[in-house]
Structure formats: C-alpha cells, structure tokens
Amino acid sequence: MSYEYDIFLSYQRNPETLRWITQHLVPLLNLRLKLELGRDLSVFIDENIESGTDWPLELATALSNSRILIPLWTRTYFNSPWCTEEFSHMIAREKETSRRNTENRYGLVIPVIIHDCETLSKDISHIQHFEIRRCFNVRMSRESPRAEELDEIIGIQASAIANAIYQAPQWRPE
C-alpha cells in the first residue's frame, strides 16, 4: 500500500472557510503542484467524508495516509481539538521519522497563516510558514487582485511544497 493523499488540509471548520478552500486554494494548489510534480495532486479535505461513516476514524485514516499536512492557521486554530490533534499527529510523525533536521530539512507540516497569528506559541514558531492572510477573503472573486496575489504566492511556494511531498517518508501503516 502507499499514501492515498499528498496533502491533508487542516482548518478550523466553518462553511465560508470551506467554500474559500474549495473555490480558491485547492484549485491553485492543484494547478501549481501539478506543474512541479508532473502528476495530479491528491488533497484530503474533510468535506469528502461520506455521511454515516465514523468521523474520527475517517480523519485518522486520512491523516495517516497523507504525505504532508498543511494547517491553515488562524488565531483560534489551536482552540479546536480536531486541529490540535491533526497537527500533533503529524509533528509526532516528523519526530519518529527524523524530519526537519540537518539530514532531512523538509518537515511534514507546512503551515499557512490565513488570519492573525501574531502570538504563535514558541513551541511552533520555529516552523517556517507562509502567509496568505491578505488573500483569505470568503467573498473573493476569481478575477480579483487578491485572487491573483494568491496565485502568485502559491506559485512561489509550490516548489517547497513539492519538495516536502517528495521527501515524505516511505508509507507505513500506523
């Protein structure tokens, strides 16, 4: 068996945030990373969980079957037990597989700040992130200057995201 997903998107659940993710962020990740990877990208978003399934089990399975985690950080991201668990799980996997060190520079977590995060905990502030908070507008149109800015930022970050995907440890059941 191998990984099912390249990216697990972790965010604090909100219908408008989900709409922005599916209408703006994921299409740009797909476009830009397909150019880097030379293949289609597989992204897990919790909206893909089918009705009637065990929500925690489905999340845990998807997370275990994802190469990297992209948490969309807001000031309240870590107030969510789900977000905290997803983040902690992937950081633990980084440590288990000796990532984010001199031998393996790329970690398994690439944080993206979408809203005010001026007070990040010292425990996580060392993880290099990138910011798209100016582009996080749930009413944004695809032709707006902010949408163009988001495309530019994702284009710049695509190489680092692709490298993290390439450098992910070999899949193993958890």
Closest by alpha carbon to 89, among 10, 3, 4?
10
CATH fold of 5-167 reads Rossmann fold (3.40.50)
Which is it for the CA torsion 33, 35, 37, 43, positive or negative? positive
Domain boundaries, the chain: 5-167
What proportions of the chain, in percent to the nearest 5, are helix, strand and coil? 45, 10, 40
Give me the tens of pLDDT residue by residue for the chain, a chain 174 residues long.
799 999 999 999 888 999 999 999 999 999 999 999 999 999 999 888 888 888 889 988 999 999 999 999 888 888 899 999 998 999 899 899 888 888 887 889 999 988 876 665 656 666 767 888 888 888 888 889 999 999 999 999 999 999 999 999 988 877
- Model's pTM, two decimal places? 0.91
Residue 141 near residue 16 (C-beta atoms within 8 A)? no
What was the pLDDT predicted at 161?
Answer: 95
